[in-house]
Amino acid sequence: MGDRAVTSARAKVHVNGKEAGWATGVGVDESINQIPIEVLGEIDAVGIEATGRTVSVTCDFVRIKGKSLMEQGIWPRGGTKEVVEAPPLTIELYDVITDEPIAKVEGCKGQNISWRVDRGGIKTVNARFIGIRQYDESDA
């Protein structure tokens, strides 16, 4: 069949191994914090060292009546205790045709949620998660 591009028509989102409904978009961002090693008596840095990594995932979900992110256990529901004790999630992007993973982000916790509905459109829920580590299809 040859190599194929990853397209929106082929992608679906799973959270903790279960399909999470429909999504109109998914974005993953990874940042590695690099700092220069600066020493006295040198105008230039003598090296660069990594000090940390952050990963975030943004999912634009189509809001299905009766299947909110809270009802699915994707977003914490309740007060301080429920939010603090919410278990970490694994968010995966799968190829619909082959049912193989395309990407995975582990250790996700909710950071921000918002929703929008427009005239002539559908209600979407934008959820942003902070994660620990991302993997592509070679090790998802």
Class of domain 8-136: mainly beta
> SS3 for 22?
coil
Yes or no: say if 56 and 128 are a contact pair by the CB < 8 Å rule.
yes
What mean pLDDT, rounded, does the chain reach?
A: 89
Burial of 44 (0-12, 13-18, 19+ CB in 10 A): exposed
- Of 3-7, 12-16, 109-113, 132-136, where does mean pLDDT reach its minimum? 3-7
CA distances for 100 relative to 14, 67, 134, 137, angstroms: 11, 25, 16, 8
Residue 60 structure tokens? 């634009």
Tens of pLDDT along 88-123? Answer: 999 999 888 888 888 999 999 999 999 988 888 888
The model scores a pTM over 0.85:
no
| Sequence-separated (6 or more) residues with CB below 8 Å from residue 125 | 60, 61, 62, 63, 68, 69, 113, 114, 115
What is the C-alpha to C-alpha distance for residues 103 and 22, in angstroms, rounded to an integer?
Answer: 17
40 phi/psi in degrees, rounded to 5: -60, 140
